[in-house]
């Protein structure tokens, strides 16, 4: 069965590569703008569904994998900063805070049936200095990471604790749940 990852994220591609399955990638065409008043849990699942639908349209009959991630604290969604200045300001505004990373996963089989899951990973940030944040941002360049937190690199040094069912969800693709979905579709390791 042809497997397609509907994502332009290098992090998700690297994670899926770990499983050793051959797959193709397509860049989903999705507007990721949150809707007014949309809760983070709804946003992250809506975006993964839209990315999966885009992947299905682009790839034809295939098993399509899509995911999205939203970080939030105190009801505020932390986007991808895009610039050094925004990354530094964002991180300084959440020093010492608890952040929840919601990572959605949608797998659509060639018949159109879908498996869906949202993983919630809770992260407690430690208090850190402006100099530490500047060094981290300059070294890691987490400009394309939700909340500017790149835990697979030096960003882990900004953390006090992580509570999760799947450590890969924090990076952007919950592989434990994906493995279960793939097995349900007859794809065995």
Exactly one of 68, 131, 144, 160 is catalytic; name it.
68
| CB distance 44 to 70 below 8 Å | yes
**How many Cβ atoms from other residues are within 10 Å of residue 166's Cβ?**
19
Closest CA to 47 of 64, 62, 63, 33: 33
State the pairing for strand pair 98-108/63-73.
Answer: antiparallel
Identify whether 68 is a catalytic site residue. yes
Task: Give the catalytic positions in this structure.
Answer: 68
């Amino acid at each position: 069965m042809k497997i397609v990852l509907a994502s332009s994220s290098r992090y998700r591609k690297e994670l899926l590569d770990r499983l050793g399955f051959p797959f193709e990638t397509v860049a989903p065409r999705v507007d990721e703008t949150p809707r007014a008043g949309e809760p983070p849990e709804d946003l992250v699942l809506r975006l993964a569904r839209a990315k999966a639908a885009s992947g299905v349209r682009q790839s034809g009959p295939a098993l399509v994998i899509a995911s999205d991630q939203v970080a939030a604290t105190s009801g505020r969604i932390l986007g991808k900063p895009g610039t050094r200045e925004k990354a530094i300001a964002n991180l300084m505004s959440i020093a010492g805070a608890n952040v929840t990373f919601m990572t959605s996963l949608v797998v659509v089989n060639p018949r159109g049936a879908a498996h869906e899951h949202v993983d919630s990973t809770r992260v407690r940030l430690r208090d850190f200095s402006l100099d530490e944040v500047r060094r981290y941002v300059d070294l890691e360049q987490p400009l394309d990471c939700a909340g500017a937190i790149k835990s697979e690199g030096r960003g882990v040094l900004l953390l006090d604790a992580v509570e999760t069912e799947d450590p890969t969800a924090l990076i952007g693709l919950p592989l434990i749940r994906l493995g279960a979905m793939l097995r349900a579709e007859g794809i065995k390791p």
